[in-house]
Each structure stands twice: as C-alpha cells, then as structure tokens.
Structure 1
Amino acid sequence: MPDLRLTLHPALGAKTAVTSAEVRLSALPEGAIVHVLAAPGGPGILPGRQGDVRAVSPGQWFIVGDEPMTHSAMKTLFETLEPLATGVDQSAGRVRIRIEGEQAERILSKGTAIDLSADSFPVGRSATTLIGHIAAQITRIGSDSFELIVLRSFAESL
C-alpha cells in the first residue's frame, strides 16, 4: 500500500499580514479548532476548561489552540466531554484570523450588524454573525483586537 501523506497548505497562502497605521490583519497559527455540542438536556456552559473556549450558540462552543492536537489528545478530550457533550474536529476546515489596531472595531462594524463597542462586546465575548456574506465567529480578545473564525474556503475572501 502506498504511503499516504497529508499536505496542509495555509489557507491564506503566502499572505502573512496586512498592516496599515490603524489596523493589522494576520493569520493565526493553524492549530486546533474543536466544535463542541452539548447533548439534549446537557450543560448550559462547557464543563471544565480544555483550552480557549469561544461560545458559538446555546449549547455549542469552539475550543481553540495555537498548537495542533494529537490524535490521543483529541480522543481524551472527546472522552472527557461524554456523555454531556460531543466534539467535532474542525481544525482542517476553519481558519483563525486576528484583526487589531485602533480602527479594528470600526472596520468590523462596517461589515456586520453586531454592536462591537467595548461596553456591549467586552473582552472574551463571542458571537456568530455574517461579515458581508461570509459566516464568521467574532471574539474580542483585547481592547482593540478581535479573532475571527471562518471556513477555510472563505478565508482569503474575508
């Protein structure tokens, strides 16, 4: 049987960052993104903390990390979630992008209907929305920085 090897190509190709005086847009490491779904009647919040957790919707979260998870680590995570929730590895299907700078909030606000002001959308808050026509998960990760999670095929368009 031939030796099959998976070759991952960065979703944004050679584009590493776009910088202006007011904003910087950069690809985050293609580490781990796990979509967690609570079982019916399961927890209202994700039990424990297995990494950086981003709320997607009631009973759903993304667990994200800069480093890829090994098969055994992923298996252990899924076993930890059972029977309250289940996980789906989305690492190869989604991309994380950071937008930061004094105009980041204003630029994102042009493409979405969410109020991204710090009072309404504080650090740690996440929301799933459209940016233009592209579905995205937005998380405020700093006073003037946001993390976007999008499907890999839409990353460059975004």
Structure 2
Amino acid sequence: MVHQYADRHTLEGLVPADVSAGADHLAVAARQAIVVVLAAPGQEAAVAHLLASDEDLSARFSAPGEWLVISGLQTPELLHQALAALLGDMAHCIDQSHGRVLLRLTGLNARAILAKGAGLDLHPSAFSVGQSANVLCGHISVNLARVGDDAFEIVVMRSFADTLLHDLRDMGRAFDLTTAFLA
C-alpha cells in the first residue's frame, strides 16, 4: 500500500497566512533550513571561527561545541552540504529542519513579552544583538537569539511549537500581538 503524505507546517491552521503585522508581531517561518553542528573533540575553536567568518551563515550558540545554523535562503540539503564542505572532519552536521520551528518576535514590546515567560535577563547590556541562549520559555526549552534591537528568533522543537505559540500569544495579549506566517 502506498501512502501519500502532505507536506504541511505543524502550525498550519493555527496561524493565519495573511494578517497585517502590528506594532508587536510574531512571525512563523514557513520553510527554514536548520542544521545542528557538533564540533569534534578539540575542534571547538576552529569550528566556531569558521562559522563566525562566513557572513552567509547565521550560527547560534547552543551548547559547548554545538551550534544551530539557520538559513532562510538555502534548502536544508544545500545548507547541510555547504556546512559539511566548510567544516570537513572538524564537525558533524545534522539536518534538523523537519524537527524544529523558527518563530520571529519583533516590536517595541518584544522584550516585555518574552520577559513574561523566559528566565533570562533580556536587557541589551546583558543580552546583546547576536547572542543566543538555550532557555525555558514557560515550561518549554527553546533556543532564543537576539537578532535586532527589538527582534528575537526562537527555535523550538516541532512537537512543542503549538504550545509555545499559544503561550506567546497569551504573553503578548496585553500588547495586541499579531501572528502570521513569515512572508
């Protein structure tokens, strides 16, 4: 028996496709290439240097010797191949695009919204643009990255994405947070 599987986003049906972004907005990336890079023992510094030196890569620290590399331009396969070619035997690359969801929270109240659920000091002097950290948002483990003055990206495991979406909407209700798929 042959099964036909529909390629659908885990948040499809929960997020409107065509909502105008408000002052505070939560955008859900429909297609995102996400690769986990694990440095080989003793290669952490070399891998970190190579990831930081490539301006086309968005590498977020995840743990000692571990990074999430994200691309909205490349397919998961191409990103994986590019990282494997760049890093060679210095690291292992694992495509996680199918198992993780990226959310982008923007607006003047983004820090205040996240402060309701994330146990992390989000003040610019403590968490600057370009930094990332694994934190709990509510009760869900996420990788949180500050990508702009009033912009954060959240990477969550696919199975927790709907719960996190509901939590973020609740946290942003006082600020009239809008939600839509990323254009």
Same fold (TM over 0.5): yes
Give the 3-state SS of the residue equivalent to 1:53 in structure 2: strand
Are 2:39 and 1:38 equivalent residues in the alignment? yes
Q: Percent identity?
A: 36
What pairs up with 1:140-155 in 2 under 5 angstroms?
140-155=146-161
- Shift of the 80–132 alpha-carbon distance from structure 1 to 2, 3 Å rule, reads same
Greater CA drift, 69-78 or 88-97: 69-78
Letter in 1 for 2:98: A
Where relative contact order (Cα < 8 A, 6+ residues apart) is larger, the structure is: 2
Unaligned runs of 5+ in 2: 165-183
CA distance in 2, matches of 1:111, 1:70: 30
**CA offset at residue 78 of structure 1?**
1.6
Structure 1 stretches (4+) deviating beyond 3 angstroms? 4-7, 16-22, 70-73
Cα displacement (A) at 1:132: 1.0
Helix, strand or coil for the counterpart of 2:162?
A: coil
- Kindly report the root-mean-square deviation, in angstroms, between the aligned alpha carbons of the 2 structures: 2.5
How many correspondences in the alignment? 157
Match for residue 58 of structure 1 among 59, 64, 69: 64
Q: Indicate which of 31, 34, 50 corresponds to 1:47.
A: 50
Do the aligned partners of residues 124 and 42 (structure 1) sit closer, same or farther apart at CA in structure 2, a change above 3 Å counting? same
Letter in 1 for 2:50: P
Structure 1 gap ranges (5+): none
Q: How does 1:96-115 map to 2 (within 5 A)?
A: 96-115=102-121
Write 1 or 2 for the structure with the bigger share of helix.
2
Q: 1:88 to 1:6 in 2, by over 3 A?
A: farther
Structure 1 residue 84 corresponds to structure 2 residue 95: no
Question: Structure 2 counterpart of 1:47, which letter?
Answer: L
* 1:17-64 deviation per Cα after TM superposition (whole angstroms, max 9, x unaligned): 788865211102422000000011112225142511111122111110
CA contact (8 A) 2:33 2:76 kept: no
Query: TM-score if structure 1 supplies the norm length?
Result: 0.86
TM-score by length of 2: 0.76
